[in-house]
Amino acid sequence: MNHHPNNVMFGCCFVMNDRIESFDWLFQTFLKSMSGTLPSTIIADQAFSMAVAIDSVFVSVQHRLCCF
């Protein structure tokens, strides 16, 4: 969130499948584009493969679940 209590999106990507390897690549690419700076929180849905990749790439980042 920014200083106006609005969510801020730093990136968007379409993936062809929901394999752990795809999300792992995506998150590693995100880290590279951010010069290795980790986000403080990631808000995502309950996809198992995404959660596994978040835990392996963003070890110290809080993973929160979104509500649709």
Could you give the number of structural domains in the chain? 1
Say how far residue 47 (Cα) sits from the centre of its chain. Answer: 12
Q: Is the pLDDT of residue 3 over 80?
A: yes
Q: How confident is the model at residue 45 (pLDDT cuts 50, 70, 90)?
A: confident
Instruction: Give the global pTM.
Output: 0.78
Residue 49 structural domain: 18-27+43-68
Q: Judge whether 68 lies within some domain.
A: yes
Domain membership of residue 65 (yes or no) is yes
Which is nearest to 10 in space by CA: 22, 23, 1? 1
pLDDT of residue 56: 94
Is 8 part of a structural domain of the chain? no
Q: What's the sign of the alpha-carbon dihedral 39, 10, 37, 55?
A: positive
Let me know if residue 1 belongs to a domain.
Answer: no
- Mean pLDDT rounded to a whole number for the chain: 88
